[in-house]
Amino acid sequence: MLSKLIAKGAPLLADGATGTNLIAAGLDSGECAELWSETHPGHIRALHQSFVDAGADIILSNSFGANRRRLGLRGLGARAKELSRLAAQNARVVADRAGRRVVVAGSVGPTGEMLAPLGSLTEDEAMEIFVEQIEGLRDGGADVVWIETMSALEEARAAARAAIAVGAPYTASASFDTAGRTMMGLAPADFARAFDDLAPPLAVGANCGVGAADLVVSVLAMTEANPEAIVIAKANAGLPQWRDGHLHYSGSPELMERYVALAIDAGARIVGGCCGNTPAHVAAMRRALDRRQPGPRPDRAAIEAALGKLVAPPSTKGAGRRRRSQEGA
């Protein structure tokens, strides 16, 4: 279904945050969010419904950490496939009664472990872990596998290979939160072409990170490196702040409204929000899409003027050495 919506040409709107909104609904810091698909299905479906009501075209299942390794930390590793299935089913129920096409995206986050050679988990083992989760998402009715918040290239590719093995279409996004790169040093331009030798993803992109301005800069790099790619932009609503015993995000719905226009002008075709984005933020993004007039491709100065200074600007350290190496190749 996602490929059909993409083919229509109009920008698509993905939903907002799962975890931070569940915390607002009563999820304790020590609880397993993925278990709420079973114990609190009404809360999960209500969250999905709130995003559909706000105008989202794509809703992500409550399965970000529903893999055997992450669930194993809570004694739930054997239930990875089952909880993934339940997560997709809850989203499927809401999408099917929406009265319009709404894509159910099966969220697949990292295993939480380091892959070899830095850790003990091999890429093939990671692939097996992701296959189990993706099979559950498929059985629950997910339309597409939504690989997100990746830092290591090897892990992102393991998840992609798992989706391909299951026969599921997939997208892939990474979190560029460390001087314009992922925590493991992966650059947006490199991620944009990271799957060229595999069955291609429906879209690649950036999510989470350190704020809207930084993410739009990552989108610029990705669309420059791979102009043909369908690019996802799913930014956090600013930065988290601890106030009065609660976690608040600094980005207002109005800021996210401005972000959407810039992200699309930068080349994104799918936009939405990650941590801190409420249904009100998604509704503001919907208004931005519905009212949008195409603008010029922004540069960093235009992005910072609209969204604020970059939090973690891309580092130029080593750029000269890379250019000299390329020139001598």
Q: Residue 254: its pLDDT value, please?
A: 97
Q: Which of 114, 136, 135 is nearest to 125 (CA)?
A: 114
Three-state SS for 323? helix
Mean pLDDT in residue range 98-102: 97
Whole-number Cα distances in Å, 102 to 96, 176, 203, 227, 230: 8, 28, 17, 26, 18
Question: Using 50, 70 and 90 to split pLDDT, how confident is the model at 325?
Answer: very low
Mean pLDDT in residue range 122-132: 98
User: Exposed, middle or buried: residue 77 (CB in 10 Å: 0-12, 13-18, 19+)?
Assistant: middle
Question: Using 50, 70 and 90 to split pLDDT, how confident is the model at 30?
Answer: confident
**Architecture of the domain defined by 2-328:** Alpha-Beta Barrel (3.20)
Question: Using 50, 70 and 90 to split pLDDT, how confident is the model at 317?
Answer: low
Give the pLDDT confidence of 63-93 residue by residue, as tens digits.
Answer: 999 999 999 999 999 999 999 999 999 999 9
Record the pTM: 0.94
Domain ranges of the chain: 2-328
Question: Using 50, 70 and 90 to split pLDDT, how confident is the model at 13?
Answer: very high
